[in-house]
């Protein structure tokens, strides 16, 4: 196995364990009215190498989302949101592509692409993921105000945690 595959397998396991055993417990509110959730597992899709084929990104998003769904007892909600984010990822990457293009051997990290680029890339995809997640969770737009409130609150907290993780772990792959 190549080092990129081993790195991503390790990242998958680590983010799943962190999400399930640490960040699942960090919610504000009670079971039916959570104000925010800390979701860091989308970082797995965010950090996949540029050369990863779109179908594989979507498949890996489904697998990661399904694994989170098993522990959260939420049938398909996390999987559908992560598949949506994986689907949109290519469009966001092509929209943000620098003039010289991407070096396909790298992952989109803050070290490789710069802090401003990574912050914008993460913000766009995380916002898409969270809005889709809370929309599917509510399953109706009657609660659009609640969906937006939860999206904004979770976005701020999740983005802060993801950026802190980027500074602590400093991935170069």
CA nearest to 22, candidates 68, 60, 62, 64: 68
Number of independent structural domains in the chain:
1
Contact (Cβ atoms closer than 8 angstroms) between residue 51 and residue 169: no
| pTM reported for the whole predicted model | 0.90
Q: How far apart are CA 116 and CA 100, in angstroms?
A: 17
77-103 per-position pLDDT tens digit: 999 999 999 999 999 999 988 877 787
Q: Is the dihedral of CA 133, 134, 138, 139 positive or negative?
A: negative
- For the segment 9-67, what is each residue's pLDDT rounded down to a tens digit? 999 999 999 999 988 877 665 555 567 789 999 999 999 999 899 999 999 999 999 99
Q: Rounded distance, CA 102 to CA 72, Å?
A: 36
**What domain range includes position 20?**
3-169
- Calpha distance 31→120 (Å, rounded): 32
| pLDDT of 88 | 97
Cβ pair 103, 50 in contact under 8 A: yes
């Amino acid at each position: 196995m190549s080092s990129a595959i081993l790195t991503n397998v390790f990242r998958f396991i680590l983010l799943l364990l962190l999400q399930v055993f640490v960040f699942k417990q960090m919610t504000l509110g009670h079971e039916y009215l959570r104000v925010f959730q800390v979701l860091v597992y989308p970082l797995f899709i965010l950090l996949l190498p540029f050369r990863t084929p779109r179908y594989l990104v979507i498949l890996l998003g489904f697998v990661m989302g399904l694994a989170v769904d098993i522990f959260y007892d939420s049938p398909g909600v996390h999987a559908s949101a992560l598949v949506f984010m994986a689907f949109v990822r290519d469009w966001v990457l092509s929209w943000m592509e620098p003039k010289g293009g991407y070096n396909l051997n790298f992952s989109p990290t803050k070290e490789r692409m710069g802090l401003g680029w990574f912050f914008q890339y993460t913000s766009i995809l995380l916002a898409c993921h969270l809005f889709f997640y809370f929309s599917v969770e509510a399953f109706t737009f009657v609660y659009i105000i609640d969906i937006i409130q939860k999206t904004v609150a979770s976005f701020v907290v999740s983005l802060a945690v993801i950026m802190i993780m980027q500074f602590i772990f400093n991935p170069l792959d």
